[in-house]
Structure 1
Amino acid sequence: MLSRDHKREENAMNLSRLALVISVTALLLFAICVPAHARTEQVSSPDKSITVSVNIGKTLQWSLAVDGQEVLPPTPIALKLYKRTTLGATPRLLDVQRASVDEVIEPPVAEKRSRIPNRAEQMTLTFEGSYAVTFRAYDDGVAWRFETSLPGEVEIESETVAFRLNGPWKVWRTSTRKWNCSFESEYTVQPPAEWPADEMAFLPLYAKLENGPALLITEADLLSYPGMFIGRDQKDATLLTGRFAPYPKVEKPYRDRYIHVAEAEPFIAKVNGTRSFPWRVVCVARKDTDLLANDMVYRLATPCQIQDTSWIRPGKVAWDWWHANVMWNVPFKSGINNDTYKKYIDFAAQNGLEYVILDEGWSKTTDLTDLNPNVDLAALAQYGKEKGVRLILWCVWRTLDAQKDQVLPWFRNLGIAGVKVDFMDRDDQKVVEFYERMARATAEHQLLLDFHGAFKPTGLRRTWPNLITREGVMGMEYSKWSDKSGPE
């Protein structure tokens, strides 16, 4: 038998062991609740004037400092998978990779600069769960994007993008209350607190800090994903958040040119699990003129996918719709007919215009092969060729998409220069994919592409430089029926 002293000693040892077990368990529970890798990583622009700070804690948050001043306080970023996990929630950092981007881009089609320096410092944070977030800091702005390495196809329920505008900010914003719009709007100038919570703005959005820099918020390399809108948070008037059109479930044609979303899925995108997502872009300007020179969106886009670009020749165009094909003092009845278009071609040739647009009316809107009986397309193309002027044909987007395999080779054989595509009026994932599909298809047939009624540029013209222009503003056409697009 053990003595009393021995028993007391054994009890004390057991209590010590129990205390140790409790302490270790508590530490393990604390490690589970609070990530052991909670820390801040930073990346600064080549000239060190712009710094992105990324806080890795219970959530993933980013902030922006310009010239030593924090202009955007920390806000979360996340990517929520439908009925699955949220990337960016309780992040567990595995690796940090840093690199310098230093190249010169030579655009095959004229841009603001013939040689575009692409210099940035890059930081890629890789996390447990097969995802990463890459940040870039340029001398004129910052950008970030999610990258995933997940098997199969995944559905994205939502993406968290937020910008906190504390202090004396003013925003210049567009306005819409619905996803279906022509992306043509007047700009409202106001403090964020006066922004009605039920209104969204399509990008870009301009924000100016009193006695501080200006920011232009947009996105780049938008591929197979919905475009981003911005709205004011319902409860916090200083917080602007990204919003995305849901993925269409049921679509219904409307009139002869639209396709409306009749029913939507409970997620915003259906994508390949291994991919890079669009760049979230914040351009920085100390003075407004800096924005005119900013080409970050082009720099961040996927490089050119066309091997031979020698056939792509932008130029000036005579536009028939602007004055409704009405001519005076001509020996024929003006309108949508051969004589009128020959006159346009003559005018273009005499004044150094490379192209003439045949806007709505040259064919049936629902069938591009059903020509207006007063229009001989082949004869007009030949007449233009003799004069050194080529034709661009207006098309309804849904008709062209349905008939592209039939009509694009036909257009090229006729010597048509390109197409003007109209009435998309959406930027959900399906319509974004139409933009990509049409840019690729027209490039394959060496046709120029002009998008009308389009969402903002996101760099697709770098990837497919035959996309020579897009209209997505309240432009000159509004002068025909209003004074909204005047110089004021």
Structure 2
Amino acid sequence: MTRKILLFNILLMVGYTSKAQEYTITSPNQKLKLIINTNKHLSYKVEFNNQTVIQPSEISLQLANGRVLGDSPKLVKKDQHKVNSEIKPLFGYNSSYTNSYNELLLHFKGEYTLAIRAYNEGVAYQFITSFKQPIIINKEQFELNVNGDYPFTALGRKDKWHGYETNYTTQNISAIDSLYACLPSVINSGNNVKIVVSEANLYHYPGMYLLKNKEKQHSLIGEFPNYPLDVQPGGYSMFNLNVVKSADYIAKTEGANKFPWRIITITDDEKSLLNNPIVYLLAEEPKADYSWVKPGKVAWDWWNANTLQGVDFQSGVNTETYKYFIDFAARNGIEYVNLDEGWSDQFDLLKLSDKINMIEIVDYAKQKNVKLILWMVWHTLDKQLSEALDQFQKWDIAGIKVDFMDRDDQPVMEFYERIASEAAKRKLLVNFHGACKPTGLERKYPNVINYEAVYGLEQNKWETLKPGHDTHLPFLRNFAGPMDYTPGATRNASISNFRPVFERPMSMGTRCHELAKFVCFYAPLQMLADSPTDYEKEPDMLDFLSKVPVVWDETVPLNGKLGEYLVIARRKGDTWYLAAMTDEKERDLTLPTSFLKDKQYSATYFEDGINADRIGTDYKKKTAILKANELQNLFVKMKPGGGFVAIFKTEN
């Protein structure tokens, strides 16, 4: 990952007024401007296409010693940089990312700096301190002041932190009532202009939430969970550590520190949110060799309750069941098998269930060239960290699925990095569940291969997860990074026929909607949620799932409207996958094929069957040979909760 930084001496549009001094930085395409005012208090505003979209909004860090970094700022010097490079990640939804931005560093009296950057993909700022002694942050001030009472779309809960596993809601800013909105969130400011707020490079610091600013109209403010002083086990099966006492500050850090990037993306091209890597671009680079990290698909046991049919043993958490899962994975080129809850005592990872023979399972997986991933409770792992990870390494386990953090205060964010680092030393993948959204840790530690932080397919075991929820996720949740939604239901119910069934769960939406998730959702470690014997009854579906990539060389957003529908094309090698999905409304779309080159392709289509609105599993599979002069737009009719997938393979 090379990074060219060209110093240049021309001021980046630095302007002056009689009452205040302003510093402006502009995106390479000239569409975005981030303007910092250094008068009495640091503030920023953002222009898009020469219109002020975010009005002056104050920012600061308030220290425990009474100092406020941002009050009466006195500029000492400034540095400017222009960067235009290419980042080639180990894996991603593109084989390379353009890393082009203008940067201005404003150094202030009092040993702190404000770094500001402008990318085509968004603008960002970051506080940097250079104190010699540790510091305590009492509060961070973040305002977002807009021009009107606009609709605001976010995940979150009322009066509670950590609402990542909820449905999206949309309401005007004035109507927000005690909602702790998780990031990324989006404001629809009219004329199809969307304002997306997120953060990156979150280390030794709590996550940010957005709340309604009760002191200003049309305004949101940042809020942060306080530093916990005492925790007690609680929640589901005592898997959580609930905060029972908190400090009156949010973080305590080293005096020399780079704080999280505050990111604002503004666009009038809604579909561009489907291919915006700004969180990844702002994250730290890896400092070691991670070539051993292998993305792939996972045969998963928990969602389907370890249920197998037509076998001559009692299926469940036992050696025979896991060997069947391993055989299934080996037959179908599936790289991993996940052993979820039940393989060990939840509070002692070295105490195995008496129903399994781990050595036999491990040896069998090695013979079949299948790798194993083990689920565990987060605070159990933290207590046994070295001895447990050492044991997993001896067993040749490939990765760990760490669950039930359900917090993002400073100590838990430090836990994320501690696990990433210790797992990397032993060449273990990490899949975080019960987690907050990604903020770039997966760039610094590519073994952090996935995060949950989503209302995923598991919810259908006990409630209703509607297709419209799915049509939010590629725009917002995947904006932050990879997402372990765990798709792959074989029992696909129409909207009128859906019901929660815990041990034989189904999805709401059509079979083609379910297939489209594997293209529309970015997940370098992608679960196949249903039972091997259910997939084996569905050869078309199994053939698709066994071959669909999980990482990509190129992504091309084609169309979409947040929460309603989307169309996206992704390429791996010479093969293109085109996918579309819709919410609860029936939708007719014309899908462009302009991303295809002038070649001959063999095409395979999966489309909703004529009765898919009544029978969710109804679909049609079609094949065709397309010559260069026959490439044209595709007309697709999607049923309510429907979808579409096309595969184009280059023909010699």
Q: Do these two structures clear the TM 0.5 threshold for a shared fold by scoring above it?
A: yes
Indicate the residue corresponding to 1:93 in structure 2.
Answer: 75
Structure 2 Cα separation of the partners of residues 364 and 256 of structure 1: 13
Please state if 1:75 is matched with 2:57: yes
Who is 1:372 aligned against?
353
Per the TM alignment, residue 168 of structure 1 is displaced from its structure 2 partner at its CA by: 5.5
1:314 aligns with 2:272: no
Is 1:415 aligned with 2:412? no
CA distance in 2, matches of 1:201, 1:252: 25
Bigger CA drift: 160-169 or 293-302?
160-169
Displacement of 1:193: 1.1
Residue in structure 2 matching 1:234, options 195, 206, 214: 214
Distance 1:112 1:408 in 2: 30
Give aligned-pair identity as a percent.
39
CA RMSD, 1 decimal: 1.5
Work out the CA distance in 1 between the residues paired with 2:301 and 2:438. 25
Deviation at 1:308, TM superposition (A): 2.0
Residue from 139, 158, 161 that aligns with 1:158: 139
TM-superposed CA distance for 1:231, in Å, is 0.2
Most deviating of 44-53 and 163-172:
163-172
SS in 2 for 1:340: helix
- Equivalent in the alignment of 1:383: 364
Residues of 2 paired with 1:256 and 1:85: CA distance? 40
Q: How many residues align?
A: 451
> 2:423 maps to which residue?
442
Deviations 1:294-329 (A, max 9, x none): 000000001012x22221001000110011112121
| SS across alignment from 2:197 | strand
- Say whether residues 1:361 and 2:342 are aligned partners: yes
The equivalent of 2:101 in structure 1 is 120
1:37 Cα deviation after fit: 8.7
**Are the aligned partners of 2:136 and 2:249 in contact in 1 as well (CA < 8 Å)?**
yes
How many Å separate the matches in 2 of 1:132 and 1:73?
22
- Among 206, 216, 238, the residue aligned to 1:256: 238
Conserved 8 A contact 2:155-2:163: no
Give the aligned partner of residue 40 of structure 2. Answer: 58
Uncovered stretches (5+) of structure 2, i.e. residues with no partner: 1-16, 469-582, 584-652
Judging changes above 3 Å, is the alpha-carbon distance between structure 1 residues 136 and 314 closer, same or farther for their aligned structure 2 residues? same
Partner of 2:113 in structure 1? 132
C-alpha contact 1:421 1:449 (8 A) present in aligned 2 = yes
Which amino acid letter does the alignment assign opposite residue 161 of structure 1? F
CA distance in 2, matches of 1:56, 1:43: 14
Supply the distance in 2 between the matched residues of 1:44 and 1:302 (Cα, whole angstroms).
Answer: 23
Contact 2:99 2:281 in 1 (8 A): yes
Corresponding residue of 1:340: 321
Other-structure match for 2:564? none
C-alpha distance in 1, partners of 2:342/2:22? 60
> What is the DSSP-based 3-state SS (H/G/I as helix, E as strand, rest coil) of the residue aligned with 1:406?
helix
What residue in structure 2 maps to residue 222 of structure 1?
202
Match of 2:561 in 1: none
Q: 2:226 aligns to what SS in structure 1?
A: coil
Residues 437-446 or 39-48, more deviating: 39-48
- Deviation (angstroms), 1:167: 2.2
Output the CA distance in 1 between the equivalents of 2:162 and 2:55.
32
Q: Which residue does the alignment assign to 1:208? A: 188
Pairwise CA distance, 1:135: 0.3
Letter in 1 for 2:41: T
What is the CA distance between 1:182 and its match in structure 2?
Answer: 5.6
Q: Select the residue among 143, 146, 165 that pairs with 1:184.
A: 165
Higher helix proportion, which one? 1
CA contact (8 A) 1:172 1:188 kept: yes
Q: Is the 8 A contact 1:161 1:241 kept in 2?
A: yes
Q: Are the structure 2 counterparts of residues 194 and 303 from structure 1 closer, same or farther at C-alpha, using a change threshold of 3 Å? A: same
- Other-structure match for 1:300: 282
Contact 2:162/2:436 (<8 A) preserved: no
Name the CA distance, whole Å, in 1 between partners of 2:159 and 2:432.
21
For 2:76 and 2:215, locate their aligned partners in 1 and report how far apart those are by CA, in whole Å.
35
Where 2:133 maps in the other structure, the secondary structure is strand
3-state DSSP of counterpart to 2:137: strand
AA at the equivalent of 2:215: K
How far does residue 265 in structure 1 lie from its aligned partner after superposition?
0.6
Q: What is residue 352 of structure 1 aligned with on the other side?
A: 333
Gaps of at least 5 residues in structure 1 are 1-34
- Scaled by the length of structure 2, the TM-score of the pair is 0.68
Runs of 4+ in 1 over 4 A off after TM superposition: none
Letter in 1 for 2:375: W
Q: Is the 1:227–1:245 Cα contact (8 Å) retained in structure 2?
A: yes
Relative to the length of structure 1, the TM-score reads: 0.90
State the AA in 2 paired with 1:483. Answer: T
**SS class of match (1:326):** coil
SS of equivalent residue, structure 1 residue 217: strand
